[in-house]
Each structure stands twice: as structure tokens, then as C-alpha cells.
């Protein structure tokens, strides 16, 4: 059977392609503006990648076309699928019907931390010999691949609230029907498809409706929006998490940057996580992963031991170079809260050393200017924040300077590189924050430095 995937280089669709290949299908796909790490992963898996969307890409007459949610009517390849009467389906529906149907699904949802928490949980299960299947919106360094079929009854999946396809506007996670569901947090995001926060809460409520009464939901005690969702109706036991609080699962910080903390379950000490990650967001991610692992029978002490060997995910505060006195990081930043928590963790780790944040506001929500004030405030831990404003930006980023004095706007990559080359003489931590390719600045900046 030949499956052709439209939008194959998206993190979800690329992982789905890998799983389809492991199931024995012939897999091809098309996309545009492709870039690593997903394009590299597909090549390594022997999956044929066609750059650009054209009707003739379907001349191979695939048995099934899986259409990614980035595709819309008017796309020449989408139109060809419809005009030729080819069989098509959304990625989440295909995954639910062909992979998840007989699995114990562990789903990780939330505005932030989905990729990292899914990676942590997958690694804990792997460390304990479960050999889980997984599909992750990034490449965990412990595995070197974003998805696999696995050989066990367990499948760990990043449960995204974004819509499924142009013909299926339900959130992806509604298809997955998890037995163990982590609800990490909930904020307003995806302004291109959700009119307001209440619309997202409704989708999360739809997810809660699918979790069985013998399952488990894990969520932070202090997240008011998640609590609102659960108040809409919940038929499943809920395990709460906290930091220096009194929830069922509680972390007591040993180091303020989150790199070392003890784990308590019902006030009983389970052990100490000592790892290379920083930030309170990662402490919450770890607690959720440990709680979910316990639900499938893994003792907290064993989960804690596994997290001590967790290597994080590509593009999550990944150190990509150390040049003279500059440490260069690649961080997949998509929302002001994620930026704030990441920089807070770094600040607590490096003390008074200089931090420069270089931000490409690339997510749809940030491009629409929804988070103007919060974006400016999220950069407070940086000594200098350089924001890239490309020509096709929907709003004037200079508005950010009303709310913070450490911000500079730059309209070219050459300008950013020149500025950073000057700043490099003083050393420090340069954090490149984008959920895209950032115009290839990563390699260019390393060469300039």
C-alpha cells in the first residue's frame, strides 16, 4: 500500500510518516520550505520527499493521501486529491484507526511542555524496558527519532489542541482517546483558529470526555484554566501536581533553577531528580511524567532514576556551540510564557552572566500581535532582547519597546548577526528563540562568531 502525505515535514506528519514506514507501507510526501531536523529524519528513514505542492505529485496514484492540517483549499495538491476522487484522511484519524486502537495511550496535552513531557515519559518507559511506541513533536536526544511503532501495549503521544485538517476542525487530541492524560497547562494560543480562551477550554473538555473512568488525568493544582476545564465535567480520577506546595505529587526545590529537586507522593519522599535541565516548567513536566509512569506500574524511584539520564529534546535550550566566551542556544520558543520560563531558568542557572535573547515571533499567535505586552515582559530576564521583524510581519514590533527598555528591533538577519558579533566581545549566553528555521541564522551566526 502506498501512502502519500501532504505537509510531511511538519513535526506531527513527519513522525506519522516514520510510523507508517515501520508498518510496512510505501511512504512518500510533499512539503515546501523544508528544513532540518525533520527533513533529515525523513531522508534517514528512506522516505521520498518532494519539495513543492503540485498536482503531478499524485501521478504515482497513491492508495491513500494523508492531509496535514497546514493544508487548505486552493493548495494545488489538495485540489488534485479532491478532483481525482482519491481516498484521503486526516493524520490524527489515520493514527487512531491504524495504531492507537488497541494501545494504552498516554497523551500529553497543554499549551507548553508537550514535546518535552512526552519525551520524558517515553524515556521513562524505555528505561524500564517497556519499549513504548511514541509520536513526539520534536526529536528527543535519548532516541534520535521523533516517532516509532514500538513493540509494547503502550503508546505515548503529544496531544495537540490544533485542528486536525481543513475538513476536520476538531482538535487532534480528540482522536487519541488516552487512558492516561496529562494536562500540563492552558493559555490562549493559536489565535488563527481559536477566537478566545473559552474556545480552547471547550476542546480540552472534549478531550476530558474521552478519558475512561478507570484512567487518570494529571494536572497542576494551580492552573486555573485547567481547573475550569475539569469543572465542566470530569469522570476520571485526577492527580494534582505542585512545586513547594501540598498536592498529591509535589516537588521540593533543592536548587532554585530546577536542576535538582525532591519528589514527594502523598507527602512521602520518593527520591531526588538531579539532571541537566533547568526551569520550573521542566519540574512540572517531570512530576507529570513520573505520575503518568506510576499509572502504568513504574515505581517513582525508577522513573526518577530514568530522568537522571534524560537528555532533553533537540531545539529545547539545546547548546549548539561554544565559541570563545559565548554559549549559543537553540530554543523552540512559540509563546511568551514559554520564553519567560526558559529565560527564568537560565537566569537562575547563570546568575549575573549576560543573557541575550534573539527572538523570531513566528507562531501565528505572535505574528498576529495578540501578545504584545506579555511578549515584552517575558524578556525581562535578558540583558538584551533582539526581535526580528521581517517585511511581511502583520504588526509593528516597535510597540514592544513601550513595555520594556531592553528590546531592540532588527529588520534583517545581517543586522542581527552584526549586532551579535559586536556583543560577543563581552561574552554571555545567546539564546536563539524561534519555532522555525529563523532564515538559517544558526549556521551563519556560528561562522560569523
Mind spelling out the 3-state secondary structure of the chain?
CEEEEECCCCHHHHHHHHHHHHCCCEEEEEECCCCCCHHHHHHHCCCEEEECCCHHHHCCCCCEEEECCCCCCCCHHHHHHHHHCCCEEEHHHHHHHHHHCCCEEEEEECCCCHHHHHHHHHHHHHHCCCCCEEECCCCECCCCCCEECCCCCEEEEECCCCEEECCEEEEHHHHCCCCEEEECCCCCCCCCCCCCHHHHHHHHHHHHHHCCCCCEEEEECCCHHHHHHHHCCCCCCEEEEEECCCCCEEEEECCCCCCEEEEEECCEEEEEEECCCCCHHHHHHHHHHHHHHHHCCCCHHHHHHHHCCCCCECCCCEEEEEECCEEEEEECCCCHHHHHHHHHHHHHHHCCCCEEEEECCCCHHHHCCCCHHHHHHHCCCCCEEEEECCCCCCCCHHHHHHCCCCEEEECCHHHHHHHHHHHHHHCEEEEEECCCCHHHHHHHHHHHC
Which residues on adjacent β-strands are paired with residue 228?
A: none
Tell me the mean pLDDT in the region 172-196.
88
Average pLDDT, the chain: 92
Asked if residue 327 has pLDDT above 80, the reply is yes
Given this model, what pLDDT does residue 373 score? 80
Asked if residue 421 has pLDDT above 90, the reply is yes
pTM: 0.85
**pLDDT, tens digit (0-9, with 9 covering 90-100), for 234-260:** 999 999 999 999 999 999 999 999 999
Given this model, what pLDDT does residue 363 score? 61
Given this model, what pLDDT does residue 192 score? 72
Given this model, what pLDDT does residue 364 score? 56
Tell me the mean pLDDT in the region 51-59.
96
Given this model, what pLDDT does residue 282 score? 94
Given this model, what pLDDT does residue 436 score? 77
Given this model, what pLDDT does residue 42 score? 87
* Cell reading at 197: 480562551
Tell me the mean pLDDT in the region 386-415.
83
Asked if residue 81 has pLDDT above 60, the reply is yes
CATH superfamily ID and name for 102-307? Mur-like, catalytic domain (3.40.1190.10)
Asked if residue 365 has pLDDT above 60, the reply is no
- Residue 249's Cβ-side half-sphere holds a number of Cα atoms within 13 Å equal to 23
Looking at domain 2-90, its CATH class is alpha beta
Given this model, what pLDDT does residue 395 score? 66
Closest listed residue to residue 15, CA positions, set 143, 131, 104: 143
Given this model, what pLDDT does residue 34 score? 73
**pLDDT, tens digit (0-9, with 9 covering 90-100), for 263-287:** 999 999 999 999 999 889 999 999 9
Q: Would you say how long the chain is, in residues?
A: 449
Given this model, what pLDDT does residue 35 score? 67
Which segments of the chain belong to CATH 3.40.1190.10? 102-307
Which of the residue ranges 122-126, 162-166, 196-200, 315-319 has the most confident prediction, judged by mean pLDDT?
122-126
Tell me which fold the domain 318-448 belongs to: 3.90.190
Which segments of the chain belong to CATH 3.90.190.20? 318-448
Q: By the 8 A CB rule, do 183 and 236 touch?
A: no
Amino acid at each position: 500500500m502506498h501512502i502519500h502525505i501532504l505537509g510531511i515535514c511538519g513535526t506531527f506528519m513527519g513522525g506519522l510518516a516514520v510510523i507508517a514506514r515501520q508498518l510496512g507501507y510505501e511512504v512518500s510526501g510533499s512539503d515546501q520550505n523544508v528544513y532540518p531536523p525533520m527533513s533529515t529524519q525523513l531522508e534517514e528513514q528512506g522516505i521520498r520527499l518532494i519539495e513543492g505542492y503540485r498536482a503531478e505529485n499524485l501521478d504515482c496514484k497513491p492508495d491513500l493521501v494523508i492531509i496535514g492540517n497546514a493544508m487548505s483549499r486552493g493548495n494545488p495538491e489538495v485540489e488534485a486529491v479532491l478532483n481525482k476522487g482519491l481516498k484521503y484522511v486526516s493524520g490524527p484519524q489515520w493514527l487512531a484507526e491504524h495504531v492507537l486502537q488497541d494501545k494504552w495511550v498516554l497523551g500529553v496535552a497543554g499549551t507548553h511542555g508537550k514535546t518535552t513531557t512526552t519525551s520524558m515519559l517515553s524515556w521513562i518507559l524505555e528505561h524500564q524496558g517497556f519499549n513504548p511506541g511514541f509520536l513526539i513533536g520534536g526529536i528527543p536526544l535519548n532516541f534520535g527519532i521523533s516517532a516509532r511503532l514500538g513493540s509494547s501495549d503502550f503508546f505515548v503521544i503529544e496531544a495537540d489542541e490544533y485542528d486536525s485538517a481543513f475538513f476536520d476542525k476538531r482538535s487532534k487530541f480528540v482522536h487519541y482517546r488516552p487512558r492516561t492524560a496529562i494536562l500540563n497547562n492552558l493559555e490562549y494560543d493559536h489565535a488563527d483558529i481559536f477566537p478566545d480562551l473559552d474556545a480552547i477550554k471547550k476542546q480540552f473538555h472534549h478531550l476530558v470526555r474521552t478519558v475512561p473512568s478507570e484512567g487518570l488525568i494529571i494536572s497542576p493544582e494551580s492552573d486555573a484554566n485547567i481547573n475550569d476545564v475539569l469543572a465542566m465535567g470530569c469522570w476520571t480520577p485526577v492527580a494534582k501536581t505542585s512545586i513547594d506546595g501540598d498536592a498529591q505529587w509535589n516537588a521540593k526545590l533543592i536548587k532554585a533553577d530546577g536542576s535538582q529537586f525532591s519528589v514527594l507522593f502523598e507527602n512521602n519522599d520518593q527520591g531526588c531528580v538531579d539532571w541537566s535541565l533547568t526551569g520550573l516548567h521542566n519540574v512540572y513536566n517531570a512530576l507529570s511524567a513520573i505520575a503518568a509512569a506510576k499509572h502504568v506500574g513504574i515505581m517513582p524511584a525508577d522513573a526518577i532514576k530514568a530522568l537522571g539520564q534524560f537528555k532533553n529534546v533537540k531545539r529545547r535550550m539545546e547548546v549548539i556551540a561554544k565559541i570563545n566566551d559565548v554559549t549559543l542556544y537553540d530554543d523552540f520558543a512559540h509563546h511568551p510564557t514559554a520564553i519567560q520560563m526558559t529565560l527564568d531558568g537560565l537566569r537562575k542557572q547563570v546568575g549575573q552572566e549576560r543573557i541575550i535573547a534573539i527572538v523570531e515571533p513566528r507562531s501565528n499567535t505572535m505574528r498576529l500581535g495578540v501578545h504584545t505586552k506579555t511578549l515584552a515582559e517575558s524578556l525581562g530576564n535578558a540583558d538584551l532582547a533582539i526581535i526580528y521583524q521581517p517585511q511581511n510581519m502583520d504588526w509593528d514590533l516597535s510597540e514592544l519597546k513601550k513595555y520594556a527598555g531592553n528590546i531592540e528591533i532588527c529588520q534583517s538577519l545581517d543586522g542581527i548577526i552584526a549586532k551579535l558579533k559586536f556583543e560577543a566581545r563581552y561574552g554571555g549566553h545567546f539564546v536563539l528563540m524561534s519555532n522555525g528555521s529563523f532564515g538559517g541564522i544558526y549556521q551563519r551566526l556560528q561562522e560569523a562568531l
